[in-house]
Structure 1
Amino acid sequence: MNPVNDSYHSLLARHDAMRLRRQLLSPGARQAAEGAGERAGSPPPERPYDGAADQRVIVDHLELVTPFGDLIGHLYDAMFAHWPYLRRLFPDSMEFQRRHLEGIFWYLIENLHDPDEVASVFTRLGRDHRKLGVRPAHYRAFEAALCEALRRTAGPRWNEAMEQAWVRMLRFAVAAMVRGAEAALGEPPAWQATVTGHELRRPDLAVLRVRPHEPYPYRAGQFAAVASPLLPQAWRQYSLACAPRPDGELEFHVRLTGRGGVSEALVARTRPGDTLRLGPASGTMTLDDDLAHDLLLVASGTGWAAAKALLQDLAARRSTHRAAHLFLGVRHPSALYDTEAPDELRRRYPWLKVTQVIGEGPGPGEHHALAEAVAGHGRWARHLAYVSGPPSMVGPLVARLTAGPSPALPAARVRHDPLPDRAQ
């Protein structure tokens, strides 16, 4: 970490601590103030956000600002020109950030008709963004830059009604993010963790064990954003490859996905004793407290990390176990990197069946063999399914499981990590 970045995040941490202290020391004063406001006749609550109306306006004129590459380029140009100090909040390479923002725009536009769902997602995003040092003032700068970029990209056909639909959409999402950040003031924005183990299982894949300096709360099946001091403002998400352990140690499986990025820093340039930063755990691919169904787990590549954690969690439960069937897919026998773990679980627990699928092969149908194996081993309509791996596998497999043949597996009983921008 460079000194400027260290000082900036220390200042933000002190700011959060002061706000939290004020909240903890004066709950009565806050309640009294709220009650006084009600007695004095506070303004009526705002009407619920009509996301569907803004969605129609945005979609009807989407061709003016898509594809989003130019819009996002103009946005960051404007933001860094007007507020150059914000540049230090971003990594040196903006490629991943641009793709991530494009995914966020598409998610908002496609789901705006369901404000409750959008609010839930962006509340979690606001909690996660604390690790970046984002503050409400930064959102205001982002809004101004977005408006400038929309006008520049769309040209003379752009009008006030279109712009206001985008602004309302953005403000709704930002309000949820601010609520999420405020609710998380009692936890660190990020956790420091020391690397205790680094095993290169293949030239392009490493298994890392890290020990956080403070208790790190998470559940099996979740993922965390990881940053290396070699690229302090660049974060990538990796599944936690173990259930919570008494010693607090964590495990990550990291595959090299490109040169110069976080994955290369973690695979090729990280050693025991190094310090990493972890964002808060996220994801809903977790086991229910009371399991009512047998389990189907499908994992490909380093998607095995999440499946491994879930099976460890299941094995640790003292109640009667549900049966579980794991399908583990790899392209080639040489791609197997953690073979002892599924074999050991299978030997120890009679309720677990493991099917390895080898020969997925690159190309448009790269996961065809895995999908065929899952479909050919029986009907899964009564199961609870967990699917983990690259989006090119997860999306089609989830669609196949929930589409039939009848009776199909209900979509509500298929769990997987978010598909866009997930680094495996």
Structure 2
Amino acid sequence: MVDAARLKWSWGEVAAHGDQVPLFFYSTLFLEHPEVREMFPVSMAAQRDRLVTALGRVVSDVDNVDALVPFLQQLGRDHRKFAVVADHYPAVGAALLHTLEHFLGAHWTPELEKDWTAAYGIVAEVMSGAAEDSARQTPSWWDAEVVSHDRRAIDLAVIRVVPDQRLDYLPGQSIAVESPYRPRMWRQYSPANAPRPDGTIDFHVRLADAGQVSPALVEFTRPGDRLRLAAPMGTGLVLPDGPPRHVLMLAGGTGLAPLKALTEQIASFQDGRRVYLYWGVRHAGDLYDLPALREFAERSEWFHVVPVVAAGPGPHTGQAVGVALRQARWLDCDVFVCGPPGMVSQSVAALGHAGIPEGQIHWESGVSGLPAEEALS
């Protein structure tokens, strides 16, 4: 039996050493098992953050099996795109124990080693089992061809791809993308369309500060290039089951993408739902998809789009959530929020303060609990 309190205390002591922890871990792993180095990107900065975040999540939920197991299962399935196999888990476990012993020093006891060994054994078993189950159903990744690259702004492109094999996903989910210009670096993007008969998928990609994958996709990618796509992830923005309710959508920037996919899905139901999309951007020039949205609204009396510009001029200025809450109460609606992390957290708080039930507010709190290279869009 793992002592959860002792595990949490020890991780707190180790995590206090900051960036030294993942640096020591990966140095140990690559020194003892150099064959795994090629599985990782040349720059390890983002990967080091992911390690600390994942370990922190595991430790925080070590006494909450209902939350921990689904997280580990998703983590195991997601690691298939890195070509991780069951034989890699012992090497990672040994490097982890060595790292913990190094930073805990005299506090590293036989009892603590036993706790961490047992905890990691559970982690490895659940992750590898989920990966094996997934391998029986889907490939580790899908190869896809870029069929169009529409540069809508100096810092934004709409990219259409077609996978070699059918890639099924739910509107609102996200898909990790790898470019040959940035090998072994993956970035989560949400399809901007519901699944189509021809299998094509649209991604809205904006250049991100200090990003690695987005510049490759916006500036270098051309029609005919090949990308890799990972299995779809996330359920926070998926349309819930149950009686249909009218829908309020709050988008920030390229957070429009999954909400546009949801709108297409709702259009296929024809169940009487009305959709109100408030799209917030910094400047009017950032409304890169407004003509298409307005054309769709003209053809669909149930769909309404309201552009909101933070720094006018425009008929609606401020934040999307503020404009929406001034215009209606939305208490009987499902509300979907997507955009930069700050916009999402502020919007969710404002919606709750306005009395909208928590169960009716939908957002993606984190795909498998791991940070993307840039904010999810």
Normalised by the size of structure 1, how large is the TM-score?
0.80
> Could you tell me whether the CA contact under 8 Å between 1:329 and 1:360 is conserved in 2?
no
Equivalent-residue separation in structure 2 for 1:378 and 1:260 (angstroms): 37
> Could you tell me whether the CA contact under 8 Å between 1:58 and 1:165 is conserved in 2?
yes
Matched, 1:154 2:99: no
Partner residue, 1:309? 261
3-state SS in 2 of match to 1:179: helix
Equivalent-residue separation in structure 2 for 1:378 and 1:113 (angstroms): 42
> Could you tell me whether the CA contact under 8 Å between 2:254 and 2:339 is conserved in 1?
yes
Q: Deviation per CA, 1:71-98: give whole Å up to 9, x if none.
A: 1111101000100010001011111111
> Could you tell me whether the CA contact under 8 Å between 2:250 and 2:321 is conserved in 1?
no
3-state SS in 2 of match to 1:287: coil
CA RMSD of aligned residues (A): 2.2
3-state SS in 2 of match to 1:136: coil
User: Which of 329, 333, 347 is residue 298 of structure 2 equivalent to?
Assistant: 347
Distance 1:93 1:187, change over 3 A: same
Partner residue, 1:322? 273
Query: 1:258 deviation in Å?
Result: 4.1
Q: Deviation per CA, 1:371-408: give whole Å up to 9, x if none.
A: 32233233233221211111121123223323x24xx3
Q: Which has the higher mean CA deviation after the structures are superposed, 149-158 or 187-196? A: 149-158
Matched, 1:137 2:84: no
> Could you tell me whether the CA contact under 8 Å between 2:310 and 2:318 is conserved in 1?
no
User: Which of 151, 173, 178 is residue 123 of structure 2 equivalent to?
Assistant: 173
> Could you tell me whether the CA contact under 8 Å between 1:327 and 1:357 is conserved in 2?
yes
Query: 1:230 deviation in Å?
Result: 1.7
Distance 1:289 1:61, change over 3 A: closer
Distance 1:62 1:336, change over 3 A: same
Q: Alignment identity in percent?
A: 35
Bigger radius of gyration, 1 or 2?
Answer: 1
Equivalent-residue separation in structure 2 for 1:164 and 1:370 (angstroms): 51
Equivalent-residue separation in structure 1 for 2:56 and 2:359 (angstroms): 23
Equivalent-residue separation in structure 1 for 2:362 and 2:13 (angstroms): 36
Partner residue, 1:60? 9
Matched, 1:203 2:154: yes
Q: Which has the higher mean CA deviation after the structures are superposed, 380-389 or 294-303? A: 380-389
> Could you tell me whether the CA contact under 8 Å between 1:120 and 1:176 is conserved in 2?
no
Equivalent-residue separation in structure 1 for 2:89 and 2:311 (angstroms): 44
Output aligned runs, 1:91-106, within 5 Å. Answer: 91-106=41-56
Partner residue, 1:382? 332
Distance 1:80 1:342, change over 3 A: same
Counterpart AA for 2:190: S
3-state SS in 1 of match to 2:205: strand
Q: Which has the higher mean CA deviation after the structures are superposed, 388-397 or 164-173? A: 164-173
Equivalent-residue separation in structure 1 for 2:109 and 2:52 (angstroms): 22
> Could you tell me whether the CA contact under 8 Å between 2:309 and 2:318 is conserved in 1?
no
Partner residue, 1:416? 363
> Could you tell me whether the CA contact under 8 Å between 1:298 and 1:387 is conserved in 2?
yes
Partner residue, 1:37? none
Query: 1:340 deviation in Å?
Result: 1.6
Q: Show structure 1 runs of 5+ residues with no match.
A: 1-48, 362-366
Query: 1:282 deviation in Å?
Result: 1.2
Q: Which has the higher mean CA deviation after the structures are superposed, 162-171 or 213-222? A: 162-171
Distance 1:167 1:216, change over 3 A: same
Matched, 1:124 2:74: yes
Equivalent-residue separation in structure 1 for 2:87 and 2:125 (angstroms): 12
Q: Which has the higher mean CA deviation after the structures are superposed, 368-377 or 99-108? A: 368-377
> Could you tell me whether the CA contact under 8 Å between 1:230 and 1:265 is conserved in 2?
yes
3-state SS in 2 of match to 1:298: strand
Higher relative contact order (CA 8 A, sep 6+): 2
User: Which of 265, 286, 293 is residue 238 of structure 2 equivalent to?
Assistant: 286
User: Which of 242, 250, 258 is residue 298 of structure 1 equivalent to?
Assistant: 250
User: Which of 115, 119, 130 is residue 65 of structure 2 equivalent to?
Assistant: 115
